[in-house]
Amino acid sequence: MIYWFASVIQFLSINGQIGIGIVLFTVLMRTLLLPLFQIQMNSSRKMQELQPQLKKLQEQYAGKDMESRQQLYEATQALYKENGVSMKSSLIPLFIQMPILLALFQALTRVEALKVGQFLWLNLGEPDAFFILPILAAGFTFLSSWLTNKAAIEKNMAMTVMTYAMPVMIFFFALPAASGVSLYWTVSNAYQVAQTLVFNNPFKIIAERQAKINAEKERQAKIRRAQKKAQKKK
């Protein structure tokens, strides 16, 4: 698979520009994997929407004994089933994506033909001397995580830590990495940002959620007004 990826990148390299081939191949792979990413994102979104109900179940079965834990597990599974949430649906895409993404990474680091040549200011086989790609890769990683967590109903410490820790890790990984690898990270994370804004826009999700809350408040207000009118007639 590694050398097949390398062949495709070389095929996509317009006028022998390996950098263009890396960009086009990254976009192509991310597009082909888009349905899997959407399954994962939709599952995560449903899980977030169920957080208030899950919290109530945790309060209801707060005991530490085995019976309480079993009841909590069964109630949680029933809630997931009722709302069409499957833990497998969020894990399967990850297991499919990882071998593909790892093979692509290996192709960029092991195949000599992909580590030669210039692209813009870059020597693809050497680290970015101006640190532009590491900064961009870290920036898009942060933006992707921030957008993904923006619409979360309940934010925990782990989510916050990962939002800030991952960009730092990517930055330091990209510093000594060949520019071809950093280019892949940058384009891939930029694509992820665009994908989130188009298909899982957190601002749209928040607006829709608030509209539902407002509609429910209005419905309850109408019920109260109707009840008051009924009482006056009596």
Q: Is the pLDDT of residue 76 over 90?
A: no
The residue to which tokens 């949430």 are assigned: 85
Paired strand residues for 122: 119
Q: Does residue 186 contact residue 136 with C-beta atoms inside 8 Å?
A: yes
CA 44/CA 85 separation, integer angstroms = 9
H helical segments located in the chain: 2-12, 18-32, 34-49, 51-60, 66-82, 87-110, 132-150, 157-174, 179-199, 202-233
Paired sense of beta strands 122-123 and 118-119, if any:
antiparallel
**Dihedral, CA of residue 54, residue 55, residue 56 and residue 57, to nearest 10:** 50
Looking at residues 47-57, what average pLDDT do you find?
Answer: 76
Mean pLDDT for the chain overall: 80
How do residues 91-141 score in pLDDT, each as one tens digit?
Answer: 666 677 677 767 777 777 777 777 677 778 877 778 888 889 999 999 999
- What share of the chain has pLDDT > 90, as a percent? 5
Q: What contacts 199, CB < 8 A, 6 or more positions away? A: 38, 41
The residue to which tokens 């969020």 are assigned: 90
Which residue type is seen at 129? A
CA 190/CA 198 separation, integer angstroms = 13
- What share of the chain has pLDDT > 70, as a percent? 90
pTM: 0.75
